Structure 1
Amino acid sequence: MVAESWLCLGGTELANNSRTVAYARNGAGPRGVAVYDLYPGLPALLGDAPYTTPAGDDAAWYDPAIPASAGFGGLYITNISGMDSAPYSRPVVDRTGDGVVLGRPRYGGRSVQVTGILMGRSCCSTMYGLSWLAAALRAGCADGPACEGDSLQYLAAMPSALDSPGTTTPWRTLQNVGLTDGVTITNKLGGASACGNCGGCPMMEIQFTLTAAPWAYWDPTTILTQAPWTSDDLPQACITWVHSTGPCSSSGDDCPSTDPMPLYDPQCPPSTAIPDLPIIADDCACLPLSRRRKVISVPAADVPVWLDAVPVMELFSGDTSLRNVRIRFFQNPLNRTDPDDIGECAWCSEVNISYVPASSSLGFDGARQQVVVTLPGGGVQSAAPVVSGPSGGPLSWPTMTCGTPYLVSIEAETSSVDPAAWVSLDIVTREV
């Protein structure tokens, strides 16, 4: 069950019940209302000092130019629904005879509805808090309608005294999160008065809905950080050139003994042949003759048995452009150190990156399912056009599962691997 106490969207703390309780008790709340902190250990878990006032702690909503912001105590969460698991569906079609045919299963997006109470010292402060919350929830789309949503962090559960050291982290993160139903006032609690009246002001019960991708991600496990690309070059493979003998003549020995064309009735012309489906491929995705390999071992302890994990990688090109990068993921139950000992065709997933500009960093994020490149000047661009799957085809995002170790093989054109190039790899467990 989700701990209904803390939410952080895109790096902005939307709600912190311990913070709101502390501020209400210190004057940033309605008079005569008793509030309780059900998770007093939350500030220590977040690494925060004891909370004092919005101005003293520089709370996310505090603005020195707006005095009313100092009197807003925050959002106190009372209920969160839709966050425990993703909706799962699988179509069923009746057979013409007995039984059914099961279709392909799929997970839908999570619809997260949050209900809470806005607390303020005055009506002006509470109304300011309402405007601030609405703006904070829309922040993920500040760059235009093509936004892909933000990350939403929350607590899956509050740690208890019974938890042993090394217990699984309670933090979870949803990706591609966006506001799909705006803030709505559902009730007003307590007394009512005009703004500025010392008689008190009602608290506002509000709710809003966020929609997210199906998976909830754990904190990343770091496998390798900025490791230099120091592996040796791979030996060049032998190439056997095959020369065509040209078109086959009717009398040549290379001709087939039977007519390759099927038999048709001469009085009934054949129907038009169905054209082959086009194959989408990246012509720039190729394997150079001379390439350098970096091999990374992922221990079995970092790969979940019943859940799965996705890679989050970063490739830095160095002073020259990095070209023709091929990344392959191998299950490695026998703990081999060389992918060739597992088998050339035994890889589970393949990613091809045709180009990384000089002095740039390419981030391959399997959690957000996004590939971006950070350029020398700090600009960030989508790198989707230079990333493809096997043989330049569509990309399928890699996953690791079954609690077995993995080898990750990263190869690139030898002449493009700069001495300053490096690679980082994190593994992120996900659940639905």
Structure 2
Amino acid sequence: MLADYLELAGNEVVNSARAAVYAGARGVPLQCDPCPGIADAIGDLPYVDPVTDGAPWYDPAVPESLGVLGVLGLGVAGFDSSPVTREPVQLVGEGAALGPLRRQHREIAYTVLLITADDCALSYGLEWLSLALQGSACGSCAGDEMCVFSCCPVEGDTELRHLYDVGILDGPQVTETKYLSTGAVLATVTFTLAAGKPWIYHDPLPSLTDWVPLGVGDVVGPVDPDQVYQQCVTAEPCAADPLCPSPPLPPSPPAPKSPCYPEGLGTFRRSLISVSPLSQSAWLETVPVLEVRAGAQDMRRLIVRFWVNPQGNPCADVADPCNVCTDINISYLPAGSHLTIDGRVRRSVVECQQIPVGTATSTPIVYGPQGSTFTWPTFSCPTGLCIEVWSDAAWTAGDATARVLLVPRADVG
């Protein structure tokens, strides 16, 4: 992973390209050649000086901030090792049960060079760096989003990678200070971040970035959208002796189910979203991010269903009930609300505009197929997908929209 750029909670912390320009303008020699394509990749104009560019540390109320010349990345560790662990449980006899795989948090250690014009600027630069690494002022214990590049970007931002629930683990420590004849100061600083979600995410697949209008989808019904689950025929075990049946198992406690899950026939608006197997990576698994804008009226009986489609057939022709992967069920969305069910951080939120006080957020209860317990889906191979979005036709506004992003992720980068 490239050490030359780090953004945390939307704030640039490390940018070697910016630091090289500012240091060079002050006659500060550097012993490295940072990646030149960073400015273009993040949408910046060519760097000139902290005031013209509005450098992240520049503060007109603090004169010392003019003397900060940037943060140059020297090295980073923690991306090239997988967080996957397994703890075998020793059996009474020989061998062991391997146990399940689990992913622990990821620790990312940076070594950077804080370049300043003098000691006063160094003091301010350390203050700013410490605060910037604390993340969002409005954040929570969950942490923030972190953005880095997997390599030096050449064209666009396809090399951009994202980590989530990231926060400071060990604050900045100055390990070496070097004073130059020009009066400039080079301070070597180390700090460590922790990512609560250990995966390294790519940008979403480019084929699924558009919003789909729900209010003009096909009208289907009367139909029971859950009927598909009664149509799939599964293979029966063949080892049981029909003349000597096994004793019945004790009854299991009933699984939790939505108390207000709507069942039975209904008339629906149905929209289809197709994902070609050719657009999916052969190795990287993907997770979905669902967004729904309810529009001008309340929305009810929202079902988002994922079907496997390995042949890439038209989604209108994909009807094998045994190819259904899972459902996302939401019973109700208020008018004007924005629903996000994010598989990257495994959190759901509904945002509602409250006039005149701003935006109110709440956590919806998400259910799975037929109102059962919801589990976060992942798609581990390029099967291709057909995604159906169902909503009660009488409760679907004409301006309601939805989109489903598929985001590739990896354990190392």
- 1:296 Cα deviation from its structure 2 partner: 1.0
Do the aligned partners of 1:179 and 1:209 also contact (CA within 8 Å) in 2?
A: yes
Q: Distance in 2 between matches of 1:35 and 1:41?
A: 19
Tell me the equivalent position of 1:232. Answer: 218
- 1:391 Cα deviation from its structure 2 partner: 3.6
The TM-score, its normalising length taken from structure 2, stands at 0.84
- The residue matched to 2:65 in structure 1 has which SS? helix
- 1:204 Cα deviation from its structure 2 partner: 1.9
- Deviations 1:379-399, CA, capped at 9 Å, x for gaps: 14133x332223434321122
> Please, which of 335, 340, 347 is the counterpart of residue 370 of structure 1?
347
Q: How does 1:210-249 map to 2 (within 5 A)?
A: 210-212=193-195, 213-222=197-206, 223-229=208-214, 230-237=216-223
> Please, which of 91, 98, 104 is the counterpart of residue 102 of structure 1?
98
Q: Give the counterpart letter for 1:177 in structure 2.
A: V
Determine whether 1:129 maps to 2:115.
Answer: no
Structure 2 CA distance for partners of 1:279 and 1:4, relative to 1, 3 Å:
same
Tell me the equivalent position of 2:235. Answer: none
Do the aligned partners of 1:116 and 1:207 also contact (CA within 8 Å) in 2?
A: yes
Tell me the equivalent position of 2:285. Answer: 308
> Please, which of 232, 249, 257 is the counterpart of residue 281 of structure 1?
257
Identity among equivalent positions (%) equals 34
Q: Distance in 1 between matches of 2:295 and 2:28?
A: 62
Tell me the equivalent position of 2:161. Answer: 172
Tell me the equivalent position of 2:174. Answer: 185
Tell me the equivalent position of 2:144. Answer: 150
Q: Distance in 1 between matches of 2:224 and 2:63?
A: 76
- 1:115 Cα deviation from its structure 2 partner: 1.0
- 1:401 Cα deviation from its structure 2 partner: 3.1
Q: Distance in 1 between matches of 2:28 and 2:169?
A: 35
Count of residue correspondences: 382
Q: Distance in 2 between matches of 1:190 and 1:47?
A: 34
Structure 2 CA distance for partners of 1:182 and 1:284, relative to 1, 3 Å:
farther
Do the aligned partners of 2:163 and 2:200 also contact (CA within 8 Å) in 1?
A: yes
Q: Distance in 1 between matches of 2:224 and 2:24?
A: 77
Q: How does 1:258-407 map to 2 (within 5 A)?
A: 277=253, 279-287=255-263, 289-290=265-266, 291-338=268-315, 341-377=318-354, 378-383=358-363, 385-407=364-386
Q: Distance in 1 between matches of 2:91 and 2:381?
A: 34
Q: Distance in 2 between matches of 1:189 and 1:177?
A: 31
Q: Distance in 2 between matches of 1:134 and 1:313?
A: 35
- The residue matched to 1:207 in structure 2 has which SS? strand
- 1:199 Cα deviation from its structure 2 partner: 7.1
Do the aligned partners of 1:303 and 1:401 also contact (CA within 8 Å) in 2?
A: no
- 1:311 Cα deviation from its structure 2 partner: 1.7
Tell me the equivalent position of 2:17. Answer: 18
Do the aligned partners of 1:350 and 1:389 also contact (CA within 8 Å) in 2?
A: yes
- Deviations 1:4-58, CA, capped at 9 Å, x for gaps: 111111211111011111111222xxx7644533323333333332212111211
The TM-score, its normalising length taken from structure 1, stands at 0.81
Q: Distance in 1 between matches of 2:264 and 2:121?
A: 64
Q: Give the counterpart letter for 2:97 in structure 1.
A: V
Query: Which has the larger Rg?
Result: 1
- 1:159 Cα deviation from its structure 2 partner: 4.6
Tell me the equivalent position of 1:69. Answer: 65
- The residue matched to 1:342 in structure 2 has which SS? coil
Do the aligned partners of 2:255 and 2:373 also contact (CA within 8 Å) in 1?
A: no
Q: Distance in 1 between matches of 2:133 and 2:373?
A: 33
Q: Distance in 1 between matches of 2:101 and 2:370?
A: 27
Tell me the equivalent position of 2:33. Answer: 37
Do the aligned partners of 1:21 and 1:35 also contact (CA within 8 Å) in 2?
A: no
Tell me the equivalent position of 2:229. Answer: none
Do the aligned partners of 2:353 and 2:360 also contact (CA within 8 Å) in 1?
A: no
Structure 2 CA distance for partners of 1:121 and 1:372, relative to 1, 3 Å:
same
| Cα RMSD, aligned residues only | 2.7
Q: Give the counterpart letter for 1:348 in structure 2.
A: C
Structure 2 CA distance for partners of 1:238 and 1:186, relative to 1, 3 Å:
closer
- 1:369 Cα deviation from its structure 2 partner: 2.0
Q: Distance in 1 between matches of 2:327 and 2:116?
A: 54
- The residue matched to 1:60 in structure 2 has which SS? coil
